[in-house]
Structure 1
Amino acid sequence: METRVGDDGQPPKSNRLSASVLEIFGQQQGHLFPWAPVCVGVGIGAYFLARAEPHWTSFLGLFVTLGLVWLAAARFGRHRACWTSVVLWALSLIVAGAAVASFRSHAVTAPVLGYRYYGPIEGRIVAIDKSASQKPRLTLDQIRLARMSPEKTPIRVRISLHGPDLGIPFAAGDVVMTTGHLGPPSGPVEPGGYDFQRSLWFQQLGALGYTRNPTLRSKPADPLDTGLSLRLYAARRTLAEAIKSRMGAQEGPFAAAIITGDRSDLDPTLLEALRASNLAHLLAISGLHMGLLTGAVFAIVRLGLALSQPLALRLPVRKIAACVALCAALAYLGVSGANVATQRAFIMVSVMLLAICVERPALTLRAVAIAALLILLLTPEALVTPGFQMSFAATTALVAVFAFLRDRALFLRLPKWVSGAASLLVSSFIAGAATAPFGAAHFNQFAQFGLIANLLSVPVMGFVVMPGALLAAALIPLGLESAGLWVMQQGLAWILYVAESVSGLDGSTRAIVAPGPWVLPLVSIGGLQLCVWQGAGRLFGLAPIGVALLLWMQAERPDVLISDSGRLVGVMQDGQRGLNKPKGDGFAAQVWLENDGDSAGQADAAQRSGYLANKLQFDLAKTSIVFDAANPEKIDIAALCAAHDLVVVPRLEQALPTGCKGWAAPHFRRDGAIAIYVTDHGLRYENSRSLQGDRLWVSHQKDRSQ
């Protein structure tokens, strides 16, 4: 086949451009597997973004269509078979991701309470923690509710104990009874916000509530009726209490959190200091802790065997050390409670240790991709959680950057002590930069001195705290575990000192406005392009990141927000949201202010507004709006509708008169939270239910009679 050339003897520009593009894509040969979890994640994300629940026949149709396209490509597209196959491979994984998410959503289907319940509640304790208000909170299964058939009874409920403390030490497996309030899980506190119903759906939590009455133990835990998971949970609780009793008031709960995952006794002010200094990740039993633990075990076992020349010459020392470290990781998984973050860390560490056993590179993008793929296939709902996003953002960035530095032998040219310090500095900076957008988007704050705090704390966690925990575990048979716990306490005391010092600096945190829905996807696409793509084409990843930052800077917040109860109203006043009351609907108020990038509390936001709690009126884009939460018997609804363009009467149980625009109690039960935006064409209205769509976790919570 002849190649056309131009007057200058060179191929035409169109041909040269085509050749350059093919060369760029040709560099991806052999490096496509890390994109597999990305494609699966795209499918899972598409499933969760859908406004209607896809039917299984739609997935069957997509798979059949893809199969036919595969056959057609193999028959008629041989000259482009390579890239046709790649495109079809990616599309197949996207469809598979959506199908896995759909299957998982249906697999966890469980009854959800569809109305407000007050009466007797009996169940077995499967978890004990504390609510945001620091009240004891019990998660129960084997539920029994008055006048409710078993097929309509939720599998699990969670109740906060606001009643008198009878001094009964509840334990996992105890059957307890009380009289309290239960209700269905609430939807997002604002349209487009975090979907709590979806999160609790995958936990099979069908009702939430509280009690102000005594909670009594009707039956102690029965070992014959307690499964392995419950026995492990009880053992973890016992271990946590033992740790807390042998350490300081602040260090003990910290140690219990990083060993057993029990955060129930953490001081809220201490937790806030850790967040403000960007050290809260040390509490999560994730890749850092699992990596430090297994790394320490691997190094100790390998060094111990290497000290014996006969053993070192006859045995595969590295493989034995990797196997022992894997056993240690499995034990830590059980002791820590095996939550989603710990499972993710265990899978990643296991992939790397098994790679050592089969003599493959341990820390590669392929290993990270295997871990991500396994997690997404087993728990696709993890994709939308902050833990998954931040963990894999940090890991992917660290692996990619250190592979780049290793290939260029940059650290090998430095003295050993300088190389170690430089590695610590680079790893802290890269991990912080990779997780910063996700942390700021989910938690609405940015720790401006987080790099300093991590440089001062992470080495102590790795060289003092985790070795101390290993020493304590090794000395338990001799009854000398106090020595290891003392070492841990010194390291944790230093970390807490750093957290309190850094969080106390002026400007330690900066409030961040919540981003729009496309910001984090664009950041993820750009970051993956920078880390996973091969060759100079990876620099194109800077474009979507730049677009994401521009969109974030122009993030639009609602001019008016009304909670799903209808009792809390927030109105933008000169760039700050004013609230109508200092108490009540506190969680919604906190989330609204945080999403606004406002560090004020609910009481301050109510004081600066000047509004009355139960009645206010204001104008918005020439629209007169009135809010009246008084007793509906005292409301002249006809007069309100005649005098105002929009009426908000959250206690009115009847429908609004014909021609009257606004919301009453039935509207809030049906639509959830309301947002109002001022546009060039007037007012735009959104409600949380319409943005959620007709999904499983929503359709199961429609009002129904008892």
Structure 2
Amino acid sequence: MARFFLWPQSVILAQRGFLFPWTAVFLAIGIGGYFALRVEPPVALLWLMLGLGGLGLIAALRAGAVLGPVLIALALIACGYGSAGLRAHWTAGPVLDFRYYGPIEGRIVAIDRSGSDAVRLTLDRVVLERMAPERTPARVRVSLHGDQGFFQPSPGATIILTGHLSAPGGAVEPGGFDFKRHAWFLRLGGIGYTRNPVLLLEPPGPGQAIFKARIWLSNRVQAGLKGEAGAFAAAVMTGDRSSMGRDTLQALRDTNLAHLLAISGLHMGLLAGFVFAVLRFGLLLHPVPRHAWPVKKLAALGALVAAFGYLLLSGGNVATERAFIMAATALCALILDRRAISLRAVAMAALIVLVLHPQALVSPGFQMSFAATTALVAVFEQVTRSKSGRSWPRWTAPVLSLVLSSAVAGLATAPVGMAHFNQASSYGLIANLVSVPVMGLLVVPMGVLAVLLMPFGLEHLALAIMGLGLDWILFVADRIAGWSGAVRPVVAPAPHVLPILALGGLILCLWQGRGRLAGLAPMALAIALWTQSERPALLIADSGTLVGVMTDQGRALSRAKGSGFIADTWLENDGFGGTQASAAGLWPQIHDRVARAQIGPIEVVHLQGKVAARSFDRCSADQIVIASAEVAPRGPCRVFDPDRLKQTGSVALWLRDTGLDMKTATQVSGRRLWHGEGPAPKRLAQKGQ
């Protein structure tokens, strides 16, 4: 028994000096625990957990070398749990509970592009007709369709339009991405669209200086560099992707080059490195600073200022914040004569991001960013420590570093990308090997030079050279995306697969000694579970407008048009690929807007529209009836109409030997703040009996 207690003590003591990177992991466990809940905890409990976490951290200071780390781990879990919950309450705001159509007034605070390639505006200071201010959402997001005439969105402008708004939608299938939660933390209380011209109510007023500067710089860049290359340059320099075409974005995603658009570690590192090198070289040219000044430290300070300016201009998303924190840590280390890059720096960046934005933990951007960074730092630390092996010629070092970094980053982010986006890029490594050097040697340096030349009106000289590099990257993306088998669809894993895989990867990267190989076990388990993923036999959209039945050829959809986002997500999650139109061709029978299909002994009947719903008056026990309008047939069938689906959310059913196994989005995600107030959902009863 004594040996049993001595073993964990010896393990902890053996890891002394290498435990700090685990602090971010335990904070993330607490945050993940909050988001995994199915019932919203009381606010008092959240404050209690935060308080207990603080006390635990204080107690750990005098707890010794063994008990101290244990207390810190428990305290961080409690802090993560409490901070995530309190952040959710702090961002609370009104959410529409009905479909609104009418005048929408607001101030433009963000401009981007929707999945349908339409310009999309985020508005604050929202005014809706006949709606009290306390019920009006703090922010809404509207996509602009139709002819908008001469209207050009301007940061800070107050506009008015006539459009449709509704509450953000929930998960398109149980356990899927919950857009309601995502919108809650963005304070989006309504999303919608307009097909009418937008009118300018008031020109931009004071404030929003950074947003205005971003758009000004974006417009200036695109004026000097036309076409997709100009839109690409604007995205790289300012984070503004509103001019990027959908086909271009898809080609970049299909070749695993989309990370070149996101202002992340690559861009921040290249910018800081270029500014550092230029400043250091420039100061060394003069004899006074060369002999009397701390040139390297001054260059690092200048690079830090440039990196901070880049953070502000880029919009400050999570990936950019992480990149800036990493760059700032490295530059400060140079100033203080400390080691620049380490797993401690990665952990510090993760801690800061998670404290500021706990909800970032569940986002693909955070997961992919830190997966790549952690793996890269861990691998290069091992390479640096290793003294054995062949001594390669010095000229091969940059080539080997590029190949190794591309391979490691690709392997680290591939599972996250496949889990969230359900596709794998077959030739992503090739595309990155021929594109990333161009980004580092040509695009980023010329972007910096263009900004420096703008006060003199000479930016077009640098932008022309920058455009050559961007044209090459776009050419690579377009050509490789067209290769046969460039993109392979991947079936969506169960929700627990990615956390298990992440745990294994963290052990492999953070643990010291041979014990790190233990991380291979959970990784192997996660892969095995992923390969056994079983997709539902029947999927029902939460609006009742779309139904999907699994067949041997893939999922058959009940409609060829409409609910396109839901259809695309289902097909991606199935791992079959294809389009909504081709999936609709697999549906066996559609007549007079009544779609019928068979799954085992059960007949699925989808009633599309009010006329079809009114004409259906009788059903049997071996039928499942789904309707996009209210329906009340006589008989013992199970009915899912808008009224029922409002309670359940989207529905998934599996055919078992014992009958139908059903899960609803409400059962999986529970009743949380972002799903509205109310009691837990009652067990479903069969309607129409």
Aligned to 1:11: none
1:576 aligns with 2:554: yes
Deviation for aligned residue 1:210: 1.3
The within-5 A match list for 1:433-448 is 433-448=411-426
Deviation for aligned residue 1:61: 5.0
Which of 598, 622, 629 is equivalent to 1:619?
598
Aligned to 1:122: 105
Structure 1 contact 114–701 (Cα < 8 Å) conserved: no
1:90 aligns with 2:73: yes
1:662 aligns with 2:639: yes
* Cα separation, partners in 2 of 1:474 and 1:179, compared to 1, 3 Å: closer
Tell me, in whole angstroms, the C-alpha distance in 2 between the residues paired with 1:72 and 1:140. Answer: 46
Residues 383-428 of structure 1 show CA distances to partners (whole Å, capped at 9, x for unaligned) of: 1111111111111111111111111146893221112211111111
* Cα separation, partners in 2 of 1:69 and 1:23, compared to 1, 3 Å: closer
The within-5 A match list for 1:99-248 is 99-223=82-206, 227=207, 230-248=208-226
Deviation for aligned residue 1:612: 1.7
Tell me, in whole angstroms, the C-alpha distance in 1 between the residues paired with 2:119 and 2:171. Answer: 24
Deviation for aligned residue 1:49: 0.7
* Cα separation, partners in 2 of 1:436 and 1:122, compared to 1, 3 Å: same
* Cα separation, partners in 2 of 1:238 and 1:65, compared to 1, 3 Å: closer
Which of 38, 47, 52 is equivalent to 2:25?
38
1:464 aligns with 2:442: yes
Deviation for aligned residue 1:127: 1.7
Structure 1 contact 579–611 (Cα < 8 Å) conserved: no
Aligned to 2:285: 307
- State the TM-score, normalizing by the size of structure 1: 0.91
Structure 2 contact 613–630 (Cα < 8 Å) conserved: no
Which of 247, 251, 262 is equivalent to 2:229?
251
Structure 1 contact 59–99 (Cα < 8 Å) conserved: yes
Residue 583 of structure 2 aligns to a residue whose secondary structure is helix
Tell me, in whole angstroms, the C-alpha distance in 2 between the residues paired with 1:411 and 1:301. Answer: 36
Tell me, in whole angstroms, the C-alpha distance in 1 between the residues paired with 2:676 and 2:605. Answer: 31
Deviation for aligned residue 1:67: 8.9
Residues 27-54 of structure 1 show CA distances to partners (whole Å, capped at 9, x for unaligned) of: 2111111000100000001100100111
The within-5 A match list for 1:331-410 is 331-409=309-387
Structure 1 contact 621–682 (Cα < 8 Å) conserved: no
* Cα separation, partners in 2 of 1:314 and 1:560, compared to 1, 3 Å: same
1:691 aligns with 2:668: yes
* Cα separation, partners in 2 of 1:107 and 1:681, compared to 1, 3 Å: same
Tell me, in whole angstroms, the C-alpha distance in 2 between the residues paired with 1:248 and 1:117. Answer: 39
Deviation for aligned residue 1:178: 1.6
Percent identity (aligned): 47
Tell me, in whole angstroms, the C-alpha distance in 2 between the residues paired with 1:192 and 1:406. Answer: 42
Q: Which runs of 5 or more structure 1 residues have no equivalent in the other structure? A: 1-13
1:55 aligns with 2:42: yes
Structure 2 contact 423–488 (Cα < 8 Å) conserved: yes
* Cα separation, partners in 2 of 1:411 and 1:251, compared to 1, 3 Å: farther
Letter of the 1:31 counterpart: F
Aligned to 2:608: 629
Residue 30 of structure 1 aligns to a residue whose secondary structure is coil
* Cα separation, partners in 2 of 1:73 and 1:458, compared to 1, 3 Å: closer
Structure 2 contact 60–69 (Cα < 8 Å) conserved: no
Tell me, in whole angstroms, the C-alpha distance in 2 between the residues paired with 1:485 and 1:22. Answer: 59
Aligned to 1:274: 252
Deviation for aligned residue 1:245: 2.1
Q: Which runs of 5 or more structure 2 residues have no equivalent in the other structure? A: 680-689
Deviation for aligned residue 1:620: 2.7
* Cα separation, partners in 2 of 1:74 and 1:136, compared to 1, 3 Å: closer
Larger Cα Rg: Structure 1 or Structure 2?
1
Q: Tell me which moved more, 263-272 or 368-377.
A: 263-272
Deviation for aligned residue 1:24: 4.0
* Cα separation, partners in 2 of 1:490 and 1:682, compared to 1, 3 Å: same
Aligned to 1:610: 588
Provide the alpha-carbon RMSD of the alignment.
2.4
Letter of the 2:607 counterpart: D
Structure 2 contact 588–597 (Cα < 8 Å) conserved: no
Residues 605-637 of structure 1 show CA distances to partners (whole Å, capped at 9, x for unaligned) of: 101223427313333342333222343586355
Letter of the 2:21 counterpart: P
Tell me, in whole angstroms, the C-alpha distance in 2 between the residues paired with 1:445 and 1:409. Answer: 39
Which of 474, 486, 508 is equivalent to 1:496?
474
Tell me, in whole angstroms, the C-alpha distance in 1 between the residues paired with 2:486 and 2:492. Answer: 19
Tell me, in whole angstroms, the C-alpha distance in 2 between the residues paired with 1:274 and 1:344. Answer: 22
Structure 1 contact 581–611 (Cα < 8 Å) conserved: no
* Cα separation, partners in 2 of 1:276 and 1:634, compared to 1, 3 Å: closer
Structure 1 contact 24–535 (Cα < 8 Å) conserved: no
Tell me, in whole angstroms, the C-alpha distance in 2 between the residues paired with 1:57 and 1:421. Answer: 56
Residue 586 of structure 2 aligns to a residue whose secondary structure is helix
Structure 2 contact 622–637 (Cα < 8 Å) conserved: no
Aligned to 2:684: none
Tell me, in whole angstroms, the C-alpha distance in 1 between the residues paired with 2:221 and 2:61. Answer: 63
Structure 2 contact 30–78 (Cα < 8 Å) conserved: yes
